[in-house]
Structure 1
Amino acid sequence: MKKFIYNAKEVCSKQVRFSMEQGGLPEVQFESGCDGNLQALSRLVEGMTVAEVVDRLQGISCRGKKSSCPDQLARALERIRNGP
């Protein structure tokens, strides 16, 4: 299992920490942000494949911002999936 930390940008959450194993996400945690919503998001995506999470969360915006905490997770996964 590989662990990653992604520094979120332009959203309430400061970081997204997650683990990847065999193309899936066994663990996802957000630092800061809307605690209840981010706990729910983490629980919902845990166990999903990286492709599923990216497809569902990519492009979500929040309060007029260009991104959101879910979108930041999708961006982090895309960066890892596609390389730097």
Structure 2
Amino acid sequence: MDNIIKYIPDGVCSKEISFYIVDGKLKNVKFVKGCTGNAQGVSRLVEGMDAAEVVKRLKGIKCQNGTSCPDQLATAIENSR
């Protein structure tokens, strides 16, 4: 499996987002801290999705401080390219 990508989000409750991108697909997305149910839900929904599609769907979702955990995941994916 490719190297794990770790991202420290900004402006949200989660303290870290980690994932792999394998053949352009998102794998093993995990959020550390934050809203457990939402983090698990997002992680399961994006599992196996094309990384570019995840960015397209999640970028710009706002919760607080002008961002959200899904938006921060999109930013993490963008920064991993």
TM band (smaller chain)? over 0.9
Tell me the residue number matched to 1:62. Answer: 63
Over the residues paired in the alignment, what is the CA RMSD in angstroms? 0.8
Unaligned runs of 5+ residues in structure 2 are: none
- Asked which structure has the greater RCO (Cα within 8 Å, sep 6+), the reply is 2
SS at match of 1:9: coil
Q: Number of matched residues?
A: 80
Which TM-score applies when normalising by structure 2?
A: 0.94
TM-score, length basis structure 1: 0.91
Report the Cα offset of residue 49 of structure 1.
Answer: 0.8
1:20 is matched with which residue?
Answer: 21
After TM superposition, what 4+ stretches of structure 1 lie above 3 angstroms from structure 2?
none
Cα drift, residue 2 of structure 1: 2.2
- Structure 1 residue runs of 5 or longer lacking an equivalent are none
